[in-house]
Structure 1
Amino acid sequence: MVSFWNTITGNDMSADLKAYAKRIDQLPAGYPEAWAQMQAALMSGMNVSASFTGRDLMPVFAGLVDYLEEAAGDGLLIDDALGTDPASFATQAANANGIPLLLEKMGAQLNRHVHLKLGR
C-alpha cells in the first residue's frame, strides 16, 4: 500500500531526485551546477515533451547521474563531459531516450491541423 501511495503522490520520484542530488554533491566543482541546469531544462517543459507527471524523465535522470559520476571518475572537467551547454546535453539525452522535443511535437501537431484543414 505504501508503494502505491508513493507512486500516486510522486513521493517516490522526489526521493529519487534527492538521492541523485546527494550523489551529484559528491562530484567535483562544476558538476552540481551543471546538474541544476540539466534538471531545470528537463523539468521546465520548455525543451522536451514529457508526460504530465514527469515519470518518464526518471530513467533519463538516472542515466545522466550515472554518466556524470563516470565522467568525474575519469577525471573529466564538466565542459569536456557535457560541452558548454548542459541543458542542451540533457535535452538531447531525453530525446535519445524516446522523449520527443517540444518543438518537434508542436510541429507535428501543426502539420496535422494543416492537413485536416486542407482535407489531406
Structure 2
Amino acid sequence: MKFWETVTGSDLTREWKAFQARAEALPADHRAAWEQIVGNLMPYSDFTGRNLMRILDGALGLLEESAAEGQSVDEVLGDDVAGFCAALAGGEGARSHRDRWREQLNRNVARKLGRLGG
C-alpha cells in the first residue's frame, strides 16, 4: 500500500467498490443479508473502517460460497444477524466507537472534576 493511498483512503474506496460489485452478483436474499451485515458491523469500526475490511471480505466470501452451494441465508447466518456480527467483531463485549467515545468523555469529565475538587 502506498503512502498516498493510505492518507487519502483511495485503497479503501477501491476495495469497497469491489465488495459492492461482488455483492450485486449475489441472489436477492444473500444481498439483503450482506446489507444487514454491513449495517451491524460498522459500529465496530474505527474512523476509517480499515479494521473491518478483512472481516467484511470473509463475510462476503461466506455469502458467495453459500449462494453457490444453494444454501439459504438462515442456514448460514441463523436468525440473529446482529449476534453473528457481534461474534465476528470480537464477541458480545466488543467495543464500538460509541463505547470509546463514552470512555473518553468520562475520563475528561473526571479529570476536570479532579482539578476543580483538588
TM-score (norm 1): 0.70
Counterparts of 1:18-37 in structure 2, within 5 Å, are 18-37=17-36
Q: What is the CA-CA distance between 1:87 and the residue it aligns to?
A: 3.1
Paired amino acid for 2:65 = E
Question: In the alignment, which residue of structure 1 is the partner of 2:16?
Answer: 17
Paired amino acid for 1:42 = L
- Rounded to whole Å, the distance in 1 between the matches of 2:94 and 2:8 is 25
Give the stretch that moved more between structures: 77-86 or 54-63: 77-86
- Rounded to whole Å, the distance in 1 between the matches of 2:86 and 2:11 is 23
- Give unmatched runs, 5+ long, in structure 1: 114-120
User: Does structure 1 conserve the Cα–Cα contact (< 8 Å) formed by 2:66 and 2:76?
Assistant: yes
Q: What is the CA-CA distance between 1:59 and the residue it aligns to?
A: 0.7
Paired amino acid for 1:34 = A
Question: In the alignment, which residue of structure 2 is the partner of 1:85?
Answer: 80
Question: What is the aligned counterpart of 1:58 among 53, 61, 66?
Answer: 53
Question: What is the aligned counterpart of 1:72 among 50, 67, 70?
Answer: 67
Paired amino acid for 1:70 = E
TM-score (norm 2): 0.71
- Rounded to whole Å, the distance in 1 between the matches of 2:82 and 2:4 is 32
- Give unmatched runs, 5+ long, in structure 2: 108-118
Which is helix-richer, 1 or 2? Answer: 2
Partner SS state of residue 51, structure 2: helix
- Rounded to whole Å, the distance in 2 between the matches of 1:78 and 1:59 is 21
Question: In the alignment, which residue of structure 2 is the partner of 1:100?
Answer: 94
Q: Sequence identity, in percent?
A: 36
User: Does structure 2 conserve the Cα–Cα contact (< 8 Å) formed by 1:64 and 1:90?
Assistant: no
Return the index of the structure with the highest Cα Rg.
2
